[in-house]
A and B are shown apart, each in its own frame.
Chain A
């Protein structure tokens, strides 16, 4: 039985509503400029596509002080059930800024899952409150696969520019795909749809007070859904435009939160991924729609300079993680002329796998380990930009596909080293 976190008042309100079919969650924190539009889109989506189904829109708010609650109330229309709840924030949520900008996102999701369980809803769709590109069609895309096709987890599939989501492209997507064998292209999209039974399954997990719940709840949901064999699909949502993303967080902090969560989940699910080789496609539903994504630009010179400095100055750190051969190749990469610069896929993947092993072995403070990845990651970005500068998005996507295959090809190395990680060295 999941721990109860709903207040008595919310419980009474939810009970008063009776059984529901659909719940839409819009967690917020100081999103006064956009949340009204998101709530209106949700109401329109429910009315247009699910008019005959009993639904509830829930806005879990992290104690916004910019007028967000008033904006939600202002967007409320007749005939739609809308519930505003304040979710519990621990002191740590106020001290640390997560990459997604929503303090206590795990608590917000937990509140939503409990409401889904309490109302016996069949499906839940969650969208971020700081979006300016959300349309009523998004709710159809997120909820329909659950209601009509019996999927449990609907991951978003956005149209993105080739340089948008470089960490997702270089680490998150290929690593998750290589580990768990399912090709979910946007595993940490922010929007998703889940079935009532998956919400109940999530609530039974013991991780709700961990760092994964605080910083990696999106990765955790995707990983858990795949690792625990729930039916997963992807749904086209068009382009995603945020009001602000990553909240001005330092790159190294983003790496700590995102890659740290991935590595932590590798430990949790090692029995699930160790027997997986290769990968299978995940159904992609719908078709691209909406606005075309804005082009994203990267300062190649700066990224390359960061890589070169990292290889030069962080050598004492890298010596504890990588082999002499890897270090030698890194140094020769750093010495390349900018117009010749290239970081091999094999090298990049072996670096990520060795970092995961070093994380597991705790060869040093984990935060140091993850932060030391920043210059190498910028090196990958520089290499990717140089290789795909003039290429169309589709060709850049094929480049990512090739990288994913290298992750899969080198996985036996990770598997062979992983058991050794828990053995005594001498």
Chain B
């Protein structure tokens, strides 16, 4: 009678207790790892921020145009601050994943594995976006200055289009890196852009026929001879 009592009641209760203790210790471990991640992340952020400020990283970013992008988008107070936040985020994310892994369930293990596999692609996509922003700004400014110095009336439009196309290519490349179907993006872009151009062309052609004629004539008709030729030397 006692054996039956022990096998039917006490043994399951003991096993339940052991499982509860094991789960609790896993949860506790996860909690400790996350807390540790938060503390280490905060410390790392302060160190990175301080070191980058000392190295005048913000000035470098201002020079290459990243500083203005960061300020305008409101991502952070400064590039040093953004770098610190990125380092903190990565440490906290790593701690969270380590904590989830400590739970030891198939679901969490799978999640951790997938996240670690995705992370390099995410970083590459972010890098592509940063480079794209820089290139678009540089090329946009090059086109703007060259067009103004050539006295082209639509200098700002040309510069804007240059920045736009570089950014489109950049976004497509970044999304492709993230595994989002490239073909779908290109087709979507082509349909949207083609539609916009067609709509604009129809609207322009029907609504402003005379203006269109004048504009094209001013662009392509040979210019009237200049009244006076420069014969000065600059130097």
Closest to A315 in B: B156
Which listed residue (A188, A250, A297) contacts B232, Cβ 8 A? A297
Determine whether the beta carbon of A375 is less than 8 Å from that of B235: no
Chain B residues whose CB sits within 8 angstroms of the CB of A299 once the complex forms: 226-230
Contact with B along A286-301 (1 / 0, CB 8 A): 0000000011111111
Closest to A254 in B: B234
* Segment from B13-21, B107-115, B138-146, B197-205 that makes contact with A: B138-146
Report the bound CA distance from A300 to B232 in whole Å. 12
Answer yes or no: B148 CB below 8 A from chain A CBs.
Answer: yes
A156-174 residues at the B interface, CB under 8 angstroms:
163-168, 172
Answer yes or no: B59 CB below 8 A from chain A CBs.
Answer: yes
Determine whether the beta carbon of B145 is less than 8 Å from that of A188: no
Minimum CB–CB distance for A384 against chain B, Å: 11
Determine whether the beta carbon of A309 is less than 8 Å from that of B141: no
Determine whether the beta carbon of B142 is less than 8 Å from that of A368: yes
Interface centre among A168, A310, A313 (most CB of B within 10 A): A313
Answer yes or no: B7 CB below 8 A from chain A CBs.
Answer: no
Minimum CB–CB distance for A142 against chain B, Å: 19
Answer yes or no: A372 CB below 8 A from chain B CBs.
Answer: yes
Contact with B along A87-112 (1 / 0, CB 8 A): 00000000000010000000000000
Answer yes or no: B221 CB below 8 A from chain A CBs.
Answer: no
Chain A residues whose CB sits within 8 angstroms of the CB of B228 once the complex forms: 297-301
Chain B residues whose CB sits within 8 angstroms of the CB of A339 once the complex forms: none
Which listed residue (B138, B151, B156, B233) contacts A245, Cβ 8 A? B233
Answer yes or no: A424 CB below 8 A from chain B CBs.
Answer: yes
Determine whether the beta carbon of A424 is less than 8 Å from that of B232: no
Interface centre among A168, A250, A363, A365 (most CB of B within 10 A): A365
Report the bound CA distance from A368 to B228 in whole Å. 29
Report the bound CA distance from A216 to B32 in whole Å. 65
Answer yes or no: B78 CB below 8 A from chain A CBs.
Answer: yes
B189-235 residues at the A interface, CB under 8 angstroms:
226-235
Determine whether the beta carbon of A425 is less than 8 Å from that of B58: yes
Determine whether the beta carbon of B149 is less than 8 Å from that of A424: no
Determine whether the beta carbon of B149 is less than 8 Å from that of A250: yes
Chain B residues whose CB sits within 8 angstroms of the CB of A242 once the complex forms: 233
Determine whether the beta carbon of B78 is less than 8 Å from that of A302: no
A353-371 residues at the B interface, CB under 8 angstroms:
361-365, 368, 371
Report the bound CA distance from A167 to B78 in whole Å. 40
Determine whether the beta carbon of A365 is less than 8 Å from that of B231: no
Determine whether the beta carbon of A314 is less than 8 Å from that of B234: no
Determine whether the beta carbon of B65 is less than 8 Å from that of A164: no
Chain A residues whose CB sits within 8 angstroms of the CB of B234 once the complex forms: 165-168, 246, 251, 254
Which listed residue (A258, A295, A316, A426) contacts B78, Cβ 8 A? A426
Determine whether the beta carbon of A368 is less than 8 Å from that of B145: yes
Report the bound CA distance from A172 to B233 in whole Å. 14
Report the bound CA distance from A269 to B46 in whole Å. 39
Minimum CB–CB distance for B146 against chain A, Å: 8
Answer yes or no: B11 CB below 8 A from chain A CBs.
Answer: no
Report the bound CA distance from A295 to B148 in whole Å. 29
Answer yes or no: A252 CB below 8 A from chain B CBs.
Answer: yes
Determine whether the beta carbon of B155 is less than 8 Å from that of A313: yes
Can you spell out 28 A-B residue pairs with CB atoms less than 8 angstroms apart?
A: A99-B235, A163-B232, A164-B232, A165-B234, A172-B235, A242-B233, A246-B234, A252-B145, A252-B146, A254-B234, A295-B231, A296-B232, A299-B228, A302-B226, A309-B148, A309-B155, A314-B144, A316-B141, A364-B63, A364-B65, A364-B141, A368-B141, A371-B145, A371-B146, A372-B145, A375-B149, A424-B56, A424-B58
Binding site for A on B (CB under 8 A): 53, 56, 58-59, 62-63, 65, 78, 138, 141-142, 144-149, 151, 153, 155-156, 226-235
Binding site for B on A (CB under 8 A): 99, 163-168, 172, 188, 242, 245-246, 250-252, 254, 258, 294-302, 305-306, 309-310, 313-314, 316-317, 361-365, 368, 371-372, 374-375, 424-426
The 10 closest A-B pairs by CB, nearest first: A167-B234, A296-B232, A299-B228, A163-B232, A313-B155, A362-B63, A252-B149, A371-B145, A313-B148, A245-B233
